Chains A and B, each alone.
Chain A
Amino acid sequence: MKSGSYASIFEIVLHGRSSGKILLATIFSFTFSIAVILCTFGLMDGFDHLLKSGLRHSSGDLLVSNQKGFFPLTETLKKEINTIRPYSMAPVIQTEAFALYQGKSKGVLVRGIESDNFSKTTGLKVQVAPEGIVIGEELARQLGVKTGDEIALAFGRGNGSALPSVKLFKISGTIEHGIYQKDLRFVYLRRDDLSPLLNLNNWINLLIVSTADPSVQLEDLEPIRDAQKKLRSELPQEFLVKPFWSEYSFLIEAVKVEKFSISLVLQLIVVVAVFNIIAFVIYIMEKKAQDFFFLRAVGLSLKNIMRFWLISVVLIWLISCVGAHLLSKLFNYGLQNLPFLQIPGEIYVLSSLQIRLDLKAYLTVYAVCFLWILLAAFIGYLRLRRKPIIEGLRQEFSA
């Protein structure tokens, strides 16, 4: 059978306004179903990716702390850490405080850092001026402050006193971590400014270690897990070594489980769309039964009809896949640019989301949909096969 005869059959199938409309509706419903699955997968992968990169962007790869609290960064400790050949490390003092500005107050997490090595270790560009602070963007928005304003930080423990110590700092900049809660809570100042305030004598309570250049995106977390295990074995027992995702590990695990369970649930949407395709096939079989039987009478075999249906459903699938891809891109654009599609950061940790789909996700979704659509083609074929030619012709004669 030549392509011209396929075109003839298509012409027969699509003849009449209702057939064309039903076909369009079928394609649209399948497109929409695939797009929903793609967007859901993409949102979950995007969430996972943004969360991990956001966390890594402010936490480095490994967080070393001590059960006793503060500890000195000794040469021995440095030597032990160097066994994992870190890319860099940044000593940090991390403590809680209140940020106060014109009657407003917010509980914040203050980090005393050395700007250069903190930036190198975490990839977060934080340049803190002497006696200045850099605050998260969301915190600045909620307090209503801008660069150049002065805010007071009240620390729970004073310098050798039971009273809180309060100090004014000039805001030298704001910073975005990519994680809403960090943007709302984090305040950076120079370690040299924070240490005397807390009377720490240059001790620290957190050491951030990066195993690789933080600007290079991590595809695999395994090297970090290995480095964590190795460092854990090198350091004395009192030290704790956690990977950067530990603070949100429950979320990452939850996303994994959700992705699996939602992918099962979303099959229902595909099944509904496949029912539409089956309905279209049955509708065509019934409405164009006489045409098909006439085609059979003049030499079209069942095998060629099956081939026609296969080509048809594969075309529906192909058009739907392309359509779904475009719809997911459109949704992603909306997600990035339309305010009403922004998600509430207070609930979802990240202040904005993006759809992130890799080839594997596309192939998985498209392959599953392809299997479903093959089933639709097969059901159509079975219906046709059940009806002998003679029955269709008798219908024609009785017309």
Chain B
Amino acid sequence: MSFIRLEQVEKSFGKTKVLRGLNFEIKDKELVAIRGASGSGKSTLLYLLGGLDQPSTGKVIIDNKNLSTMGDEELANFRNSHVGFVFQFHFLLPSMTCRDNILLPARIGGRETKAVGKSTDELANILGVTHCLQKFPFEISGGEQQRINIIRALSLRPKILLCDEPTGNLDSKNSEKVANLLKSLAADYGATLLVVTHDDKVASFFPRKIVIEDGQIIG
């Protein structure tokens, strides 16, 4: 049974149609790469899947919930409880230490931060960034920021891990490392992984690929 289902999804910004009648299904815990050139609509698709935006027409159904009919409060709760985002530019808040950055989704969701803190320590240990937790983002390297970014995305054990060009700034060797890391973490956490990339090589690391061009799925 599908975990994510898109039915005739279209998205327009003004007169510009960015997504055109998308239909596809993704199974629970599936590892998927969404590949497309710049401007193909792949990021817009990712935002729809993450509940950051709503389709102009059609349905986005995730975990039997129709995101297209949800209100702002409901969508916010959905993003907090179901989705982990990994952004290309890490986007760690400069006013907080890395640990506080990681705990932020838990605080926003009104969760118990003690338990989240414990799993954070474990994951930081696995990824080798324990020494970064008390530091501010500007005090650590780009690679360490990327790993903190991933820990934050996984902090609430999301059902879906959405990554937007997570290897955009990396060379091919490190891209492969990050792709493998995401795959293994998603498998460990039982999350469905969707990685948006423009890079064919990065897409090739994932068992399933959705290719998008001019707002339509072509493969």
Contact A298 B88, beta carbon cutoff 8 Å: no
Instruction: Report the minimal beta-carbon distance from B96 to chain A, rounded to whole angstroms.
Output: 7
> What band does the interface of chain A fall in when counting residues whose beta carbon is under 8 Å from B?
20 to 34
Contact B93 A298, beta carbon cutoff 8 Å: no
Contact A8 B77, beta carbon cutoff 8 Å: no
Q: Mark B72-107, 1 if CB is under 8 A from A, else 0.
A: 110111011100010111010111100010001101
User: Quick one: which of A295-337 are within 8 Å of B by CB?
Assistant: 295-304
Residue B109 at the chain A interface, CB threshold 8 Å: yes
- Provide the bound-state CA to CA distance between A373 and B156, in Å: 37
> What band does the interface of chain B fall in when counting residues whose beta carbon is under 8 Å from A?
20 to 34
User: How many pairs, one residue from A and one from B, have CB atoms within 8 Å of each other in the complex?
Assistant: 84
Q: Which stretch from B45-53, B59-67, B122-130 is at the chain A interface?
A: B45-53
Given contacts A8-B104, A11-B95, A303-B73, contact A297 B52 (CB under 8 A): yes
- Provide the bound-state CA to CA distance between A8 and B87, in Å: 21
- Provide the bound-state CA to CA distance between A120 and B52, in Å: 81
Residue A1 at the chain B interface, CB threshold 8 Å: yes
Residue B30 at the chain A interface, CB threshold 8 Å: no
Contact B89 A399, beta carbon cutoff 8 Å: yes
Instruction: Report the minimal beta-carbon distance from A189 to chain B, rounded to whole angstroms.
Output: 78
Given the complex, which residues of B lie within 8 Å of A396, measured CB to CB?
87, 89, 91
- Provide the bound-state CA to CA distance between A238 and B94, in Å: 87
Given the complex, which residues of A lie within 8 Å of B44, measured CB to CB?
390
Q: List 29 A-B contacts (CB under 8 A).
A: A1-B108, A8-B107, A12-B93, A12-B96, A291-B93, A294-B93, A296-B52, A297-B52, A297-B85, A298-B105, A299-B77, A299-B79, A299-B81, A299-B109, A300-B76, A301-B75, A301-B76, A302-B72, A303-B72, A304-B76, A389-B52, A389-B53, A390-B52, A393-B47, A396-B87, A396-B91, A397-B43, A397-B87, A397-B88
Apart from A15-B93, A299-B81, A390-B53, 4 more pairs, CB < 8 Å: A298-B104, A299-B76, A393-B47, A396-B91
